[in-house]
A and B are shown apart, each in its own frame.
Chain A
């Protein structure tokens, strides 16, 4: 049983690491501010979610899991809010999204 939990936890951590790397890579390489915000949000939701899930599986049913849950809820509430506020402020400041050229 514990072997299964270990394998699951390892898979979750691996998925979290991969999604985090994808998000950070996107943050660096995307051409425009709004697309970068979108890429970073992958890191904040999927990356964080899977890593925390993996850690929770390793911790079992203890206080540590509750704290990890609190961290997860906090990140899920706080990071998208910050991204939203950022995008909104950029919009107000006049940063235009990079749109595709209309087909001639």
Chain B
């Protein structure tokens, strides 16, 4: 456990200051009519949220929040923004009743939260049941979050992965049009922005490599499938933004992305079925190897790989769908 700096006072002060900043950002965001500014401000909000999570020592969550909220979400919201007007319409009625309801609910929640035990109190009830058993770390993986995510609560993660897959499948079902060969707009890459081209060529391999690092380092430090999948997709999105969607589609074709979407979930379920076939329960890792601990390592490795594959496929597919829809509409006008 890291030693808290300057005692609990400074940490509380910093967290409170950051929370106030977040509230300020949200207030400005709620009052702005320009949707573009809203997207930028929500990116700032995500950065601040991730910083608060770091100050509260929740590193895995912070990494996921940074990757998803500040990076990919901004890009996807922009893609959606292109398809609609950029000014928010005036509301049709005055919002007094919703405001009253929100304040009442907030009041109830705050009143309820005051009855909770102190933050990080070791005698709190939630720390007495499963937490001691998790912390005894019978699966021998240094990062407790990964152990809980992939091993102790593996079914839950399977459900989450299927939800992510369903989101991707839903987007495909909603936005797919009849396929027609897209001719024209074959890429002449941008020649007038040389700085972006060069820096992009330098950064993109590093981003992809870093995504792999985060994926496989998830046992020992912050990381894991969700973060790695998002960073990988962000790398390819970066390539598409600088060099053109057509080129990106040639590097990572649609077929491949759709295959990845499904392959991750299948891999996850496959690990579970392997546990069944080898004589244990579904998603039982102990039977995956002669040495049960090594079986755990194997199980967690493949399960996280499955999660990473599906998440990267879904993010990339959503980006492709949004960006190409904008392209087609531009072509039709």
Q: Verify whether A and B have any Cβ pair under 8 Å.
A: yes
Contact pick for B202, options A77, A84, A85, A88, CB 8 Å: A77
Q: Is B203 in contact with chain A by the CB < 8 A criterion?
A: yes
Number of interface residues of A (CB under 8 A): 6
By a CB distance below 8 angstroms, the chain B residues around A77 are 199, 202-203
A85 to B198, CA, bound (A): 13
Q: Are B193 and A78 in contact (CB under 8 A)?
A: no
Majority DSSP secondary structure for residues of B touching A: helix
Q: Are A85 and B196 in contact (CB under 8 A)?
A: yes
By a CB distance below 8 angstroms, the chain B residues around A88 are 193
A78 to B203, CA, bound (A): 9
User: What are 13 inter-chain pairs, A to B, with CB distance below 8 A?
Assistant: A77-B199, A77-B202, A77-B203, A78-B199, A78-B203, A81-B195, A81-B196, A81-B199, A84-B195, A85-B193, A85-B195, A85-B196, A88-B193
Ranked 6 nearest A-B pairs via Cβ: A81-B199, A84-B195, A77-B199, A81-B195, A85-B196, A77-B202
Q: A92 — nearest CB in chain B belongs to which residue?
A: B192
Other A-B pairs beyond A78-B199, A78-B203, A85-B196, 10, CB < 8 Å: A77-B199, A77-B202, A77-B203, A81-B195, A81-B196, A81-B199, A84-B195, A85-B193, A85-B195, A88-B193
A84 to B203, CA, bound (A): 16
A72 to B242, CA, bound (A): 23
By a CB distance below 8 angstroms, the chain B residues around A81 are 195-196, 199
Counting chain B CB atoms within 10 Å of each CB, the highest count among A78, A81, A84, A88 belongs to: A81
Number of interface residues of B (CB under 8 A): 6
Give A residues with C-beta under 8 Å from B.
77-78, 81, 84-85, 88
Give B residues with C-beta under 8 Å from A.
193, 195-196, 199, 202-203
Expressed in whole angstroms, the minimum distance between the Cβ of A69 and any Cβ of chain B is 13
Expressed in whole angstroms, the minimum distance between the Cβ of B295 and any Cβ of chain A is 30
A88 to B203, CA, bound (A): 20
Expressed in whole angstroms, the minimum distance between the Cβ of B194 and any Cβ of chain A is 10
By a CB distance below 8 angstroms, the chain B residues around A84 are 195
A78 to B202, CA, bound (A): 10
Expressed in whole angstroms, the minimum distance between the Cβ of A63 and any Cβ of chain B is 11
Expressed in whole angstroms, the minimum distance between the Cβ of A35 and any Cβ of chain B is 20
A84 to B199, CA, bound (A): 12
By a CB distance below 8 angstroms, the chain B residues around A78 are 199, 203
Expressed in whole angstroms, the minimum distance between the Cβ of A48 and any Cβ of chain B is 16
Expressed in whole angstroms, the minimum distance between the Cβ of A51 and any Cβ of chain B is 15
A88 to B195, CA, bound (A): 11
A85 to B242, CA, bound (A): 11
By a CB distance below 8 angstroms, the chain A residues around B196 are 81, 85
A77 to B199, CA, bound (A): 7
A81 to B201, CA, bound (A): 13
A84 to B202, CA, bound (A): 16
By a CB distance below 8 angstroms, the chain B residues around A85 are 193, 195-196
Q: A84 — nearest CB in chain B belongs to which residue?
A: B195
A79 to B195, CA, bound (A): 12
